[in-house]
Chains A and B, each alone.
Chain A
Amino acid sequence: MTFNVNRISMLTVRAASWYVVCSIVLLTVVFALAAAGGGTDRAREHGVRHIAFDTTPVRGEPRALELDRAGFTYSCMECHRDLKVPADRANLEAEHCTIVFRHGTDMSCQVCHYPDNRDAYVDRECRQIPSTNSVELCAKCHNIEYRDWKANIHGRVNGYWDPARGPQTRLLCVQCHDPHAPAFQPMQPLPPPRKTRTPSSKKRPPHE
């Protein structure tokens, strides 16, 4: 009886020590893998970092009212001098098929485009706004945004914090917003911060 008890306890002790050894080995492996994983590529390449300093506007430089078709650029009136605007919008969309329209409700082309001169916009009093002055067109409805933009708090401003101290780069509405679908497009964020507060690997690479 005593012999059995001793034998069992011996076995238990031996098994327990194996568990301890195994778990230590397992933990080591886990930590080693975690460290290796943290140290490998996190898309921290120069290209990705570079994005943060890119001051080009989301939609590039503003363009005049033009249509690109088959390698040629047309001004609106080249077609619309003769083509009258069809009554139903289905036809319109068949022609200007690249335009995705998500702007307000109950909008038609002539809310913004001047009916007789398609190279211009239309203001609230049915007068023409030259196509170079798109901000005035947007201000027709978005007056709060226009007011904020004029005060330099809507839209990206680069350069000096005080225009009296140095030049500022300001953007037009259309450099961030597509006039036909003006919601600001989401961007892929950069990677999240690392959770470790110590170096991800013991072997720190020499400064490149």
Chain B
Amino acid sequence: MSNQHEKKTRGAGIRTLDQITDAPLDRRSFIKIGTAAAAGAAALGWALSPLLDAEGSITIDEFLQRHYERLNADEMQAILRRIEDDISARYGVQANLSDPKPLPGVEYAYALNIGRCIGCRRCVEACMRENNTSRDPEIQYIRVLEMEKGSLDLEKSDHYYDPETVPQKDTYYMPVQCHQCSKAPCTKVCPVNATWQEPDGIIVVDYNWCIGCRYCMAACPYWARRFNYTTPLIPVGEITTDMTYLGNRIRPRGVVEKCTFCLGRVRRGLNPACVEACPTGSRVFGNVLDPGSPINYILREKRVYILKEDAGTIPRFYYFFDK
């Protein structure tokens, strides 16, 4: 009876649900369905497997963290310890994470002597080391532009110049990095207030608050912000373990980062890493509110050039000429 019934239904090509569930499962279809199901499950598992990777996932504590401005000291300490543990788990180094506050009566400014820069890229290297930026893919805050002599046309500049060709005739070098603008367009466009200007003029990013929308990167006229497309890869021997919450701690994937004038260093009184590294002394850093500072001397005595002044961003970064 059942055989007849099956033949009949097969011939018709249509079976009701009852018929399917009632029909005894023969060996062939069991293997077929079983294999298909196993393959499907395996494919699903494979597709979802990145979720098992704990690196990218967010913990409850992280999820419930409040905005930087609303954190009290105890909460901040708990967050710092949590991030230290996370870094130690991911990179195997014991970081010393802190959150230094702006110094009173200090507003930083930076000046760079275009005439003296020899394009040696020492500043770039020092910056990468100090700020724990990813080495692969490579994230660099400073772009040393090779420019045509007598021109300030950024369209004709090249920052991929070959070390073998330096010094090239009729070129000069102009490093560009974050200008820490007084009227920073990047902070205005942030939809979640994850980036702001500190009282000492440094524009910072809270990497725990950043949603990675990259509006700020689009808004910046100086190409100063970088995005972590992947989890930063840094050889352990090259990790700077003195880290700051708003500065050089190792960033998670999917957030924007930028030059902070080496916040952790300058708030301790030290020069930024790029100033330390420059063999020509082209880079000058100081407190613009101090009338005796070298920065003030430059602004008073030298010919100063402001890059993209017409953008109206009022940078804290000045280029100057000797003659």
Chain B residues closer than 8 Å to A159, beta-carbon distance: 270-271
Chain A residues closer than 8 Å to B238, beta-carbon distance: 46, 49
Determine which residue in A52, A151, A162 has the highest number of CB atoms from chain B within 10 A of its CB, and name it: A52
Is A51 a contact partner of B298 (Cβ separation < 8 A)?
no
Is A51 a contact partner of B136 (Cβ separation < 8 A)?
no
Given the known inter-chain contacts A198-B229, A207-B233, please indicate yes or no for A190 contacting B120, CB distance below 8 A.
yes
Is B294 a contact partner of A166 (Cβ separation < 8 A)?
no
Complex Cα gap A40–B92 (Å): 24
State whether the Cβ of A104 lies closer than 8 Å to any Cβ in chain B: no
Q: Which of B8-16, B38-46, B63-71, B281-289 contacts A (4 or more CB under 8 A)?
A: B281-289
State whether the Cβ of A55 lies closer than 8 Å to any Cβ in chain B: yes
State whether the Cβ of B161 lies closer than 8 Å to any Cβ in chain A: yes
Given the known inter-chain contacts A151-B297, A153-B297, A161-B287, please indicate yes or no for A192 contacting B159, CB distance below 8 A.
yes
Is A53 a contact partner of B91 (Cβ separation < 8 A)?
no
The residue of chain A having its C-beta at the shortest distance from the C-beta of B277 within the complex is A52
Chain B residues closer than 8 Å to A192, beta-carbon distance: 121, 159-163
Taken residue by residue from 270 to 306, chain B's Cβ proximity to chain A (1 for < 8 Å, 0 otherwise) reads as 1100011111110011110010011001100110000
Chain A residues closer than 8 Å to B297, beta-carbon distance: 151-153
Q: Which of B28-36, B122-130, B189-197, B307-315 contacts A (4 or more CB under 8 A)?
A: B122-130
Is A165 a contact partner of B269 (Cβ separation < 8 A)?
yes
Is A156 a contact partner of B281 (Cβ separation < 8 A)?
yes
Interface size, chain A (Cβ < 8 Å): 47
B: interface residue count bin: 35 or more
B289 to chain A minimum Cβ distance, whole angstroms, is 11
Complex Cα gap A193–B133 (Å): 13
Complex Cα gap A196–B92 (Å): 27
Within 8 A of B (CB), among A155-197: 155-162, 165-166, 171, 176, 184, 186-197
Chain B residues closer than 8 Å to A199, beta-carbon distance: 136-137, 230, 233
State whether the Cβ of A200 lies closer than 8 Å to any Cβ in chain B: yes
State whether the Cβ of A204 lies closer than 8 Å to any Cβ in chain B: yes
State whether the Cβ of A144 lies closer than 8 Å to any Cβ in chain B: yes
- Which 8 A/B pairs are nearest by Cβ-Cβ distance? A52-B125, A165-B269, A156-B281, A52-B126, A190-B121, A189-B163, A194-B138, A152-B294
Of the A-B pairs whose beta carbons lie under 8 Å apart in the complex, a sample of 10, sorted by A's number, is A52-B124, A152-B297, A157-B284, A162-B287, A176-B280, A187-B122, A188-B120, A188-B163, A192-B163, A207-B91
User: Known pairs A151-B297, A199-B230. 10 more at Cβ < 8 A?
Assistant: A51-B122, A58-B279, A152-B294, A153-B297, A156-B278, A162-B269, A165-B269, A171-B281, A193-B124, A193-B138
